């Protein structure tokens, strides 16, 4: 049994410190884990969305380029088509590097397949020596349809990553709520500690002091020893014993005189 008031106070305070430190460490670890995982996923999703936007813009430029070529502005049309094709292929490479979803590779392959079909149709118009009417027929019956399918495939890939960002935001919200638990634990610990501290202070400080005060007020020499009734084995018990020793010495001195 602990007999020192100093040790009792230190132990009481140490309990609160340990509980609060544990809660703080748990919160730091949780938030750090959330931050690292979310940063990686959102960064990849964002880059995939940006790549998809570049592809949409480039595929529309390529379609504009073939239309320019068909109306007679052949140099600018070919230049626009080649520039757009280069941008699209670079964007596809970037997408393959930033895959985060389970089905994302399938979506990327679909985009690649649809674009290759569309670009092949575009090259057919540029390379074949058909008449203007034939170019228009190929565009209306084949190229335009492939253009729309390519845009649809790119949009689906972009929506996939956008949905993942929304889901990730929900996950972050839930994980943040869970990360608040250590803070709640800290508050509960503080309340429990306050109650325990009140109990210890009342039991080992207030009550012994009151007992000593009451016994001193009610003491008469005829009673002999001071009876404070302190049961703890700490400094207050030692004080009671020393007071009784003092009373004994005073009585002994009085009797000897």
- The reply to whether 98 falls in a domain is yes
- The reply to whether 4 falls in a domain is no
Do 175 and 128 reside in the same domain of the chain? yes
- The reply to whether 7 falls in a domain is no
- 35 pLDDT more than 60: no
The CATH number for 118's domain is: 1.20.120.1730
- Number of domains making up the chain: 2
Residue pLDDT, tens place only, 47-58: 888 888 999 999
Contact between 57 and 83 (Cβ < 8 Å): no
Whole-model pTM? 0.56
Q: What is the pLDDT of residue 151?
A: 93
Domain range for 62? 14-179
- The reply to whether 58 falls in a domain is yes
Last residue of a domain, one of 163, 179, 195: 179
Do 154 and 212 reside in the same domain of the chain? no
- The reply to whether 2 falls in a domain is no
Residue 223 has, within 13 A of its CA and on its CB side, a CA count of: 12
- The reply to whether 1 falls in a domain is no
Residue pLDDT, tens place only, 98-107: 777 778 889 8
Contact between 77 and 135 (Cβ < 8 Å): no
Q: What is the pLDDT of residue 196?
A: 77
Q: What percent of the chain clears pLDDT 90, i.e. is strictly above it?
A: 17
Residue pLDDT, tens place only, 119-175: 999 888 887 666 777 888 888 889 899 999 999 999 998 888 888 777 776 666 666
Do 88 and 157 reside in the same domain of the chain? yes
Residue pLDDT, tens place only, 73-95: 888 988 999 999 999 999 888 88
- The reply to whether 8 falls in a domain is no
151's CB contacts (< 8 A; 6+ apart) are: 56, 59, 60
Do 115 and 226 reside in the same domain of the chain? no
- 2 pLDDT more than 60: no
**Looking at 26-30, 51-55, 113-117, 215-219, which range is the least confident one?**
26-30
DSSP for 170-215, please give it: HHHHHHHHHHTHHHHHHHHHHHHHHHHHHHHHIIIIIHHHHHHHHH
- The reply to whether 170 falls in a domain is yes
């Amino acid at each position: 049994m602990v007999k020192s008031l100093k040790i009792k106070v230190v132990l009481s305070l140490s309990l609160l410190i340990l509980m609060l430190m544990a809660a703080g460490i748990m919160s730091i670890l949780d938030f750090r884990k959330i931050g690292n995982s979310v940063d990686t996923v959102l960064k990849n999703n964002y880059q995939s969305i940006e790549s998809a936007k570049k592809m949409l813009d480039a595929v529309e430029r390529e379609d504009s380029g073939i239309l320019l070529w068909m109306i007679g502005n052949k140099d600018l049309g070919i230049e626009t088509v080649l520039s757009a094709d280069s941008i699209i292929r670079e964007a596809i490479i970037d997408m393959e590097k930033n895959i985060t979803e389970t089905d994302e590779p399938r979506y990327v392959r679909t985009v690649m397949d649809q674009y290759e079909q569309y670009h092949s149709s575009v090259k057919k118009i540029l390379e074949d020596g058909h008449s203007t009417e034939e170019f228009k027929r190929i565009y209306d019956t084949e190229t335009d349809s492939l253009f729309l399918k390519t845009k649809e495939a790119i949009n689906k890939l972009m929506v996939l990553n956008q949905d993942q960002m929304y889901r990730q935001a929900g996950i972050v919200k839930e994980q943040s709520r869970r990360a608040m638990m250590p803070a709640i634990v800290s508050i509960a610990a503080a309340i429990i500690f306050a109650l325990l501290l009140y109990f210890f202070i009342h039991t080992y400080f207030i009550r012994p002091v009151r007992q000593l005060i009451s016994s001193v007020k009610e003491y008469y020499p005829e009673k002999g020893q001071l009876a404070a009734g302190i049961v703890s084995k700490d400094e207050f018990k030692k004080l009671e014993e020393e007071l009784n020793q003092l009373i004994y010495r005073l009585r002994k001195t009085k009797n000897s005189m």
